[in-house]
Structure 1
């Protein structure tokens, strides 16, 4: 899991990257929670998502938004972070020009940024959106959502209530040809403290459905 530094619009972007040597390996980009509330690329949900894709043969990149860790710049409340994510995806694709597919995943604030990037990059074929803050940010730009994916939240999340996510999902389900799955992790809060295994069980189940089982799951 080598550290990489990417030249971003606000300066250096600190990142961690796993390169899959298999020809045409797919790629995935993981975005972390809100920078002003302790969100970093080392967030436990981000970390587990990173390895979920790695186990399935993806080249995977996670990074710190501007102003977080050793990433340069200042928090920009959305536009700058979207520019960072676009730059990170450009970097990932430059090193994997023949990638068979492209996925994106985000956690909370990172899920909002991820979905905006999804709208701008038609090559993104799937997404995992963990605790998407549908009650805090405007998601109406998803009109229509161009790719199928999973939205998942905790049943005891006081930051992002289940009803707000369910309402967003129901709106997106009306779009032709796109399937948005919604899962709720029982007894989980916004950070999935003590419920990480349950979260990843749902994520793995979805990825297995879309991509096939991870190698270790096939051996079990």
Structure 2
């Protein structure tokens, strides 16, 4: 899990990169929750999602948005963070140029940024949005949503009420050409504090189903 520093629009960005064993393996970019509410690339959901992708052979990057950890710059209310994510995807594509596909995983604020990024990058073929903050941010840019993906949240989420996520899902499901897999974890709160294993298992099962993977295809990431 090498530490990496790469150039972003507001200065250097700090990340962790797990290279893939196969030259044409897919890329995954994992985006953390709100920087002003303790969000970092070391959040447990981000950490576990990172390794979920790595075990499935992806080249995976997680990184700190501007102003977090050793990343330079300061919080920019989403616009700058979207530019950071685009720069991060550019970087991982440079070091892993033969990738056949790209996925984005994001938690809360990171899910909002990730879904904006997939609108700009046609190579993104799949996404996992954990607890997307549909009540706090405008998702109307998904018109139409260009990729199929998983939206997953807890039914005891006090930060993002279930009804707001359901409204977003219902809107996306009316679109032709994509499939939105919507999962609700009973009893889980916004941070999945007692439901982390279930969350990551469900995310992994979704990736396996999309890519036709079985445990025999997993790689050692120790």
Could you say what secondary structure the match of 1:138 adopts? coil
Partners of 1:75 and 1:174 in 2: how far apart?
34
Q: Tell me which residue corresponds to 1:76.
A: 76
Could you say what secondary structure the match of 2:98 adopts? coil
Shift of 1:206: 0.9
Structure 2: runs of 5+ lacking an equivalent: none
Partners of 1:63 and 1:212 in 2: how far apart?
28
Shift of 1:194: 1.1
Could you say what secondary structure the match of 2:12 adopts? strand
Partners of 1:187 and 1:154 in 2: how far apart?
6
Could you say what secondary structure the match of 2:100 adopts? coil
> How many residue pairs are counted as aligned between the two chains?
219
User: Do the aligned residues in 2 keep the contact of 1:56 with 1:214 (CA within 8 Å)?
Assistant: no
Shift of 1:213: 3.0
Q: Which consecutive segments of 4 or more residues in structure 1 shift more than 6 A?
A: none
Partners of 2:218 and 2:28 in 1: how far apart?
21
Q: Tell me which residue corresponds to 1:43.
A: 43
Evaluate the alpha carbon distance shift between residue 217 and residue 122 of structure 1 in structure 2; reply closer, same or farther with a 3 A threshold: closer
Q: Tell me which residue corresponds to 1:209.
A: 209
1:60-75 → structure 2 map (5 Å cutoff): 60-75=60-75
Q: State the Cα RMSD in Å.
A: 1.3
User: Do the aligned residues in 2 keep the contact of 1:133 with 1:160 (CA within 8 Å)?
Assistant: yes
1:1-220 → structure 2 map (5 Å cutoff): 1-215=1-215
Shift of 1:215: 3.4
Shift of 1:163: 1.1
Shift of 1:186: 1.0
Partners of 2:189 and 2:42 in 1: how far apart?
18
Could you say what secondary structure the match of 1:29 adopts? strand
1:104-135 deviations in Å (ceiling 9; x for gaps): 01000000000000000000000000000001
Partners of 1:213 and 1:197 in 2: how far apart?
19
Could you say what secondary structure the match of 1:122 adopts? coil
Could you say what secondary structure the match of 2:49 adopts? helix
Partners of 2:131 and 2:189 in 1: how far apart?
10
Shift of 1:142: 0.1
Shift of 1:59: 0.3
Shift of 1:216: 5.4
Partners of 2:36 and 2:111 in 1: how far apart?
15
